[in-house]
Structure 1
Amino acid sequence: MAAQSTTADAEVQRGLQELVDAEGGPPGAIATLYHDGRLTVMSAGRADVGSENVPAANQYMRIASISKAYNAAVALHLVQQGKFTLDDAIVRHLPDLPAAWSAVTIRQALNHTSGLPDYLQSKDFAKHIAADPGGYVRPATIIDWVREAPLEFAPGSRYAYSNTDNIVVGLISEAVTGKSYDTLLQEIVFAPAGLTHTSFPTRDISLPSPYIHGYRIQPGSEPKDVTSFISPSGAWASGAIVSTSIDLGAFIRADLGLKFFGAAQQLQQMQFIPGNSGPPGPGTNESGLGLYRYTTPCGVVYGHTGNFVGYTLWAASIADGTRSVTTTLNSPPPTGPLLDRLRELQSKAVCALLAR
């Protein structure tokens, strides 16, 4: 078994290096594997192109849409407490939402079958990024960006990834508890899971040190540091969390290990439908409630991918929450052959994780 693990780890390390060396690849890449209290860290390239430091598991980074899994953890905890049900209409708790959204349920928002228009595709969001990308944005303003837009499709009729979904769910969690979303994350997720290096900054656009720098990659140009280009407030419950690879792995293990809600809620969470995370993770992707099932050649894991300006991430765990895997690139999500290479690397990481 030890020899098998060593060989699998070498495949992951080789995959990281190939990504960094590829044309248009990230400046740096890191993968972590956790099993039996042991963390294995593999990395390639640089966390900062101005230094020789490799990406490390204790360095901060923007975890982007993996924040949606934390949002779902809060929501399912509140379901367990009886604050709302998954089949409540979102307008029941947020009556100021557009009347056209009245048929959308919390369940549909969590599994991206709501039909809510994605605010990242709105003209107002584009105007904000052009005029003041580092400026603070209120969650209510995010809703206003798409308030007049029609639903993309009848709620529940199909899957389509929308960042608006999680803004709505976060606002509902605030409404039913009378607490800020930041406080809910701390009380329900960060503290119970011991995530001492995880935060939810919305007004501070810089990262604490040490951190993995995020870069924009353009052909023929040097990587451009965009770590603090955009205010995380514009992502809010959809993607504003900052963490480390160590804490990210701890979160996804706790999430699958029922640290935040019970078995009844997990049963609802794991009603999967076809649907890719963004960007797609390894193997076949299926969408649950703030969680994706990834069926790879070596086995099944559960987690979420994410991308923010300058970062592409993935975190997953086996079903009982005892083993986890994470990958991070300090560049935007790759496309074409590079994305295929990343997904192959992630599949190899699952093989290495399960070989232990």
Structure 2
Amino acid sequence: MVSAQSETADAQVQRGLQQLVEAEDGPPGAIVTLFRDGDLTVLSAGRADVMSDDTPQADQYMRIASITKAFSAAVALHLVQEGQLTLDDTIGRHLPNLPAAWSAVTIRQALNHTSGLPDYLRSKGIADYVASNPRGYVHPNQIIDWVREEPLDFAPGSQYAYSNTDNIVVGLISEAVTKKSYGALLQDIVFGPANLTHTSFPTTDISLPSPAIRGYVVEPGSEPNDVTSFLSPSGAWASGAIVSTPSELSAFIRADLGMKFFGPAQQVQQMQFVSGDSSPPGPGLNESGLGLFRYTTPCGVVYGHTGNFPGYTQWAASTADGTRSVTTTLNIPAPDGALLDRLRKVQAEAVCALMGR
């Protein structure tokens, strides 16, 4: 049962969502889910699809973008629990064909973005790919090739810098030690145990199942441009390809914090945090753990991940015990400036509603 205090906090979040969609550069639609005391509250505004008047719903499919990285960490930490990996294993040990300069980078450093690996999203290779064949299939080895000749950005472990290459490498290592495809690992370790029946890892299918929260690019003064299927998810792979729904994203992040995928020893390692923002930044103070960020807000601390993909801005977080969770989705790419500030404010208010404050 939602208390009167929570209802007031929910109303504040609802007003914030409405302000987001009414902004000149705002998304066509926005949705927040709050899981409290065994119940899922859904708040939404605007449209899931500009061709209809339907608001975004918790059972609609969407691209979860870089929240995929939290799934990647769950797979890696499960393999650590099983003894197939250690967090201090190096790239050179498991992937000797990758650049020699990368060989000393550890799985721990890749998971908390202290690896120094160059981010392939800043490479000429992906820029050429997006310009020439954005719907074409990309093998993860090709993603590596886009940055293979680039030096490390810094000595591994010496500083923090968010790099999408980190999780491509973690995915390849997971495949190497298990001799299974990454999609099969996700199914066996995460999707199945958490009963995520509407969550998938597409690599060749660029369309979304129906019903969907469709993704857009919004330019002030122009009609929203549908980019739901603009880019093949293969170009994001273990860094951002997963498709899910708001309700299942909520279930995943609770299962992750509730140690459904690995045990207490691995969670202790996961929650060794360094200073660093997620991408895009989440609410409050951001700190990076292993495939998980800590968000310290005025109403409390939650743990999760943000995401950014053409047409989608995502966030999912849970309390430390996995009993409460919050998700936010905008159907535009990550905003900046005043709109990002407004989004982070709504997210912080959603944490207050989650905590009953």
TM-score (norm 2): 0.99
Measured after TM superposition, the shift of residue 102 of structure 1 is 1.5
CA distance in 2, matches of 1:218, 1:82: 50
Measured after TM superposition, the shift of residue 217 of structure 1 is 1.1
Give 1:166's aligned residue: 167
Corresponding residue SS for 1:338: helix
CA distance in 2, matches of 1:191, 1:116: 31
CA distance in 1, matches of 2:148, 2:3: 56
CA distance in 2, matches of 1:289, 1:322: 20
Give 1:15's aligned residue: 16
Corresponding residue SS for 2:345: helix
Corresponding residue SS for 1:146: coil
CA deviation map 1:121-144 (0-9, x unaligned) = 000110010000000000000001
Give 1:25's aligned residue: 26
Structure 2 unaligned spans of 5+: none
Task: Please tell me whether residue 176 in structure 1 is matched to residue 162 in structure 2.
Answer: no
Measured after TM superposition, the shift of residue 332 of structure 1 is 1.0
CA distance in 2, matches of 1:127, 1:337: 31
Give 1:147's aligned residue: 148
CA distance in 2, matches of 1:64, 1:152: 24
Give 1:211's aligned residue: 212
CA deviation map 1:268-296 (0-9, x unaligned) = 00000100000000000000000000000
Give 1:234's aligned residue: 235
Give 2:283's aligned residue: 282
Give 2:94's aligned residue: 93
One-letter amino acid of the structure 1 residue matched with residue 310 of structure 2 = V
One-letter amino acid of the structure 2 residue matched with residue 146 of structure 1 = V
Measured after TM superposition, the shift of residue 219 of structure 1 is 2.3
One-letter amino acid of the structure 2 residue matched with residue 35 of structure 1 = R
CA distance in 2, matches of 1:348, 1:147: 42
Corresponding residue SS for 2:40: strand
CA distance in 2, matches of 1:270, 1:156: 16
Give 1:331's aligned residue: 332
Give 2:189's aligned residue: 188
Give 1:5's aligned residue: 6
Give 2:40's aligned residue: 39
One-letter amino acid of the structure 1 residue matched with residue 223 of structure 2 = E
Corresponding residue SS for 2:43: strand
Task: Please tell me whether residue 53 in structure 1 is matched to residue 54 in structure 2.
Answer: yes
Measured after TM superposition, the shift of residue 220 of structure 1 is 2.0
CA deviation map 1:11-62 (0-9, x unaligned) = 0000000000011000000000001221000000000111101100000000
TM-score (norm 1): 0.99
Corresponding residue SS for 2:344: helix
One-letter amino acid of the structure 2 residue matched with residue 284 of structure 1 = L
Structure 1 unaligned spans of 5+: none
One-letter amino acid of the structure 2 residue matched with residue 170 of structure 1 = G
Measured after TM superposition, the shift of residue 90 of structure 1 is 1.1
One-letter amino acid of the structure 2 residue matched with residue 235 of structure 1 = A
One-letter amino acid of the structure 2 residue matched with residue 44 of structure 1 = A
Give 2:124's aligned residue: 123
CA distance in 2, matches of 1:219, 1:103: 47
CA distance in 2, matches of 1:149, 1:131: 22
Size of the aligned set, in residue pairs, is 356
CA deviation map 1:73-106 (0-9, x unaligned) = 0000000011111011111000101001122111
Corresponding residue SS for 1:117: coil
CA distance in 1, matches of 2:145, 2:103: 16
